[in-house]
Structure 1
Amino acid sequence: MDRLEPVPPLQSESLFVLCRAQDFDVTKYGGAAGADITQALLNAWKDACAATGTAQVIIPKGTYTLNEVKFLGPCKGQINFRIEGVVQAPADPSAFKSDAWVVFETITGLTVFGGGTFDGQGQQAWKANDCSLHFDTCRLLPTNVRFNFITNGVIHDITSLNSKMFNLFLFGGNNVTFQHVTVTAPENSLNTDGIHVGRSTGVKILDTTIGTGDDCVSAGDGTKDLTVSKVTCGPGHGISIGSLGKYDNEEPVVGVHVSDCTLTNTANGVRIKTWPNSKPGSASDISFIGIVMNNVSNPIILDQNYCPHAICDKQPSRVKVSGVKFENIHGTSATQECVIISCSPAVPCENVEIGEINLVYNGPLGPGNSTCLNVKPTFTGHQVPPICVPPNAGTTA
């Protein structure tokens, strides 16, 4: 049955575009609440993808089980994937053959929305995750929802719950917006990044709430023109660029702008990280503006000696970091080191700007401090604590 449906892109002004969508309801293909809908959903997708105009795949309210599945394009028209219910992944990680549970791939004009939940049921997988001990050989557990090579996409008003590993992963995207997304996983769930962006251009992450066991938002190599605004993060490891420089032929990161975000009880705040002894690379045109920190460890950290497992070659990073701005960042720090700007001696940071900073540490060790290595920032406004001022500055280049 044809009916009028709102089709994003959704922005803060809540603009909607009305278009007539042909519906492909999974229950009309034999899917039922309380049952496995994998084949029914694939059949609905196949017909929707072959339809001209705007087609809408619907998962109505209810709880369903769903096995590993891939929704492949290209499709003939716009696809709206409307999830109103809860779909649950197999709890046992051995049920998966790949590194993703739900995959949308090679689609132009995709909207995923509806208020529903992708429940990864990751509790069993987290117990088996040994990547903290065997980080080079551990098995990659499945991402909840992966978006590969999506052009003109909008993902809004959905929840990713308890993913086994990354929650939402975008690779090779162009003009994709995430808005009003909720990501929920406990603080002790390993490698459960909230939204990860890699080798994508023109991405927006807006008005989103993320609590997880790793980075709330992470940007990998090849990220260009990324906007992160009004994201609430916590628990988690903060909002991060990187880690960069681990692999051959990484693409530059250019144009990452983070603004008006709030981080609470996170293990890091806003962060850029590159590996020591890295492959060559670069990250430039980056800004963090208007950030609120509530009891955040390492609120500002630029770390070019990132070595989470303490087994790293101590040769310097060869990732060039330049054009970075920290402005209007305030709140409380859970650690004495409120600001760490530790750049590479091989390719010192350039054009680092530090504006108004007010970060207060109230712990037993004395006032907050800062560390600066291989960088000569320019300053505007006031900084609390004093930044790059001896004796806290270390050695500078």
Structure 2
Amino acid sequence: MAMKSYVGALLLLLSFSSSINAQVFNVATYGAKGDGSSDISQALLSAWKEACASTTPAKVLIPGGTFALTEVALDGPCKAPVEFELQGTLKAPADPSLFKTDGWVVFQRIDGLTMSGGGTFDGQGKTAWGQNDCAKNTNCRTLPTNLRFNFVTNALIHDVTTLDSKYFQVNVLGAKNMTFQNFHVNAPADSINTDGIHIGRSDGVNILDSDIKTGDDCVSLGDGSRQITVKGVTCGPGHGISVGSLGKYENEEPVEGVFVTNCTIIGADNGVRIKTWPASKPGTASDMHFEDIQMDNVLNPVILDQGYCPFNQCKAGVPSLIKISKVSFKKIRGTSASQVAVKVLCSQSVPCQEVEIADIDLVYNGPEGPATSECANVKPVLSGKLNPAACAKPHIPTKVKISDVSFRDIRGTSATPLAEKLGCGRGVPCQKLELADINLRYNGRNGAATSQCANVKPTITGKSSLPLCVGLRS
């Protein structure tokens, strides 16, 4: 941890020195107009090209105003550190068919990048969310991500906002020594597959003192994520801070060294989560620690799920082959929106090893009774106060097959944000289930009414007031 603090300080020093001595390349000088409609792509590419070629630190400046921008790739390597200062708002084309690639603004192969300025990357994703059919179509088209960082080294991203991306808000691939600080993500709870910050095959990424509101995982860590720190993050709405899902593809790299501390999760579908696919390819995930987390009305505050199978797109009855070890959940407190506040459901083929659960205090005030926990294929080390009692209730997979069910013309108000939940069995998914004309409202402080489904592909008809079966996605 001391090394990570040193790295953070070094990056801040890099940002400070670059700002003082940098030659400024203002996109307005290259013809950019902040009128909200004139495309500035060529102006930005020209400014970037010259800044990247500078032998001394350089800054690309987008001043105040609203600027239209089609997809751009800002490539390195550069000859000296470069700062990207966004003071205004960049707006993406609203129509996803105008994109040729899966990235809107892409930074790649850069050593020494700083991003700052207080500005906003507005992905205008609302239209695209309705076109996202990935829950039903395994060959769906990948929509563009607001910000992609490919093979970026020694970077500091701070004091900017990503808004309403069509797909992931931020995707980090192949990064080394990269920090997000005072970074802001904003999208509604019903935005589909809008992970806040997704990290894969990267070493030494820090997410510090940031707030993430979105429709999917606030932070998601894919394979090859190593030495990742998430500290001081406020998450919600969203699907929590997640490792995975893992094991879906061949040749996935190990996950090693994940430290999630001092975070607050509000009104999210999940809190802290590790998820692997059943019938997975072999792999490992180890040295993962979640500590000092505040939960506020979170549906699944603590969940380790090695049978993660959204929309039945897997062989649910075949155990995962991802070996999970050296995991700790400590000092996690607050309120749960469901009775089962702690789930640690490991693989029957490769049971979890060296799992520690300590000082858990999660309260549930629903009609079913106090909070409970479930465990499978794990023998955790327990210490401190444990509320609920950890691993007190064995997890027994359902063997009851449910079919020919319909929910039609259901209306009124819900007392919780989760107005519709269909949780079918992994081994025996629900069949022939229909949802029609579901009109339920939630007027609380945690956003609009939402739904959650697992192991079911319902037929959806009519007009509904909330997005149905969008609650469990990758």
TM-score, normalising length: structure 2: 0.80
Is 1:364 equivalent to 2:370 in the alignment?
no
TM-aligned CA deviation for residue 394 of structure 1: 3.5
> What is aligned with 1:133?
136
Q: Output aligned runs, 1:185-200, within 5 Å.
A: 185-200=187-202
Q: Is the 8 A contact 2:178 2:206 kept in 1?
A: yes
Report if aligned partners of 1:387, 1:393 keep a CA contact under 8 Å in 2.
no
Rounded to whole Å, the distance in 2 between the matches of 1:163 and 1:275 is 26
Choose the corresponding residue for 1:289, options 288, 291, 303.
Answer: 291
Using the aligned pairs only, state the percent identity. 57
Alignment of 1:384 onto 2:387: yes
Offset, 1:138: 1.0
Q: Does 1:82 align with 2:85?
A: yes
The CA distance in 1 between the partners of 2:196 and 2:261, in whole Å, is: 17
Aligned residue identity for 1:17: F
- Give the direction of change, closer, same or farther, for the CA distance of 1:311–1:9 in structure 2 (3 Å limit): closer
CA distance in 1, matches of 2:223, 2:130: 29
Secondary structure, counterpart of 1:17 in structure 2: helix
Q: Quick check: 262-271 or 310-319, which moved more?
A: 310-319
Shift of 1:312: 2.1
- The equivalent of 2:159 in structure 1 is 157
1:393, distance to aligned residue in structure 2 (A): 2.5
Provide the C-alpha distance between the structure 1 equivalents of 2:199 and 2:363, rounded to a whole number of angstroms: 31
Measured after TM superposition, the shift of residue 126 of structure 1 is: 0.7
Measured after TM superposition, the shift of residue 71 of structure 1 is: 0.3
- Contact 1:83/1:114, CA 8 A, preserved across alignment: yes
Instruction: Provide Cα deviations, 1:322-358, integer angstroms capped at 9, x if missing partner.
Output: 0000000000000011000000010000000011000
Query: How far off its partner does 1:12 sit?
Result: 12
**1:280-316 CA-partner distances (Å, limit 9, x unpaired):** 0110000000000000011000000000112321210
Does residue 39 of structure 1 match 2:42? yes
* CA deviations over 1:118-151 (Å, ceiling 9, x no partner): 00000110111111221x1111100000000001
Q: Aligned partner of 1:239: which letter?
A: I
2:21 match: 20
- Cα separation, 1, equivalents of 2:73 and 2:7: 23
What SS does the aligned partner of 1:46 have?
helix
Inter-partner Cα distance in structure 2 for 1:311 and 1:234: 26
Contact kept in structure 1, 2:11 and 2:154, CA below 8 Å: no
Change (3 A) 1:110 1:49: same
Q: Secondary structure at 2:21's aligned position in 1?
A: strand
Q: What is the root-mean-square deviation in Å for CA atoms of aligned residues?
A: 1.7
Supply the distance in 2 between the matched residues of 1:180 and 1:9 (Cα, whole angstroms).
16
Q: CA deviation at 1:272?
A: 0.1
CA deviation after TM superposition for structure 1 residue 172, in Å: 0.1
**Correspondence for 1:258:** 260
- Given the alignment of the two structures, is residue 345 of structure 1 paired with residue 348 of structure 2, yes or no? yes
Give the CA deviation at 1:368.
1.0
**2:103 pairs with 1:104:** no
- In structure 1, what is the equivalent of residue 240 of structure 2? 238
Contact kept in structure 1, 2:26 and 2:60, CA below 8 Å? yes
Structure 2, unpaired ranges of 5+: 1-5, 397-474
Decide which of 301, 304, 309 is 1:302's aligned counterpart: 304
Alpha-carbon distance in structure 1 between the residues aligned to 2:244 and 2:7: 28
Cα contact 2:11–2:156 (8 A) shared by 1: no
Equivalent pair of 1:9/1:154 in contact (CA under 8 Å)? no
| Contact kept? 2:245, 2:308, Cα under 8 Å | yes
In structure 2, what is the Cα distance between the partners aligned to 1:13 and 1:111? 8
Q: Does the 8 A contact of 2:240 with 2:272 survive in 1?
A: yes
Q: Is the 8 A contact 2:382 2:390 kept in 1?
A: no
Task: Report if the CA contact (8 A) 2:299-2:338 is conserved.
Answer: yes
What is the aligned partner in structure 1 of residue 394 from structure 2?
A: 393
CA contact (8 A) 1:10 1:179 kept: no
CA separation of 1:354 and 1:12: change in aligned 2, threshold 3 A: farther
Aligned counterparts of 2:224 and 2:345: Cα–Cα separation in 1: 23
Asked if 1:375 is matched to 2:378, the reply is yes
C-alpha deviation, 1:14, in angstroms: 7.2
Is 1:336 aligned to 2:339, yes or no?
yes
The alignment partner of 1:284 has SS state of strand
Who is 2:228 aligned against? 226
Query: Paired residue for 1:213?
Result: 215
1-structure distance, mates of 2:136, 2:268? 22
Where does 1:314-329 land on structure 2 (aligned, <5 Å)? 314-329=317-332
Q: Structure 1 residues 311 and 36 mapped into 2: Cα distance closer, same or farther (>3 Å)?
A: closer
Structure 1 pair 388/9, CA: closer, same or farther in 2 (3 Å)? closer
Task: Measure the CA separation in 1 of the matches of 2:261 and 2:326.
Answer: 16
Q: Is the 8 A contact 2:200 2:224 kept in 1?
A: yes
Q: Give the number of equivalent residue pairs.
A: 386
Q: Secondary structure at the match of 1:39?
A: helix
Query: Contact (CA 8 Å) 2:156, 2:178: kept in 1 or not?
Result: yes
Aligned to 1:119: 122
Unaligned segments of structure 1, at least 5 residues: 1-7
Instruction: Deviation per CA, 1:142-200: give whole Å up to 9, x if none.
Output: 00000000010110000000000000110000000000000000000000000011000
1:256–1:287 contact (8 Å) kept in structure 2: yes
Judge conservation of contact 1:257–1:287 (CA < 8 Å) in 2. yes
CA deviations 1:243-273 (Å, max 9, x no partner) are 0000000000000000000000000010000
Scaled by the length of structure 1, the TM-score of the pair is 0.95
Describe the shift of the 1:9–1:79 C-alpha distance in structure 2 as closer, same or farther (beyond 3 A): farther
Give matches, 1:59-98, under 5 Å.
59-98=62-101
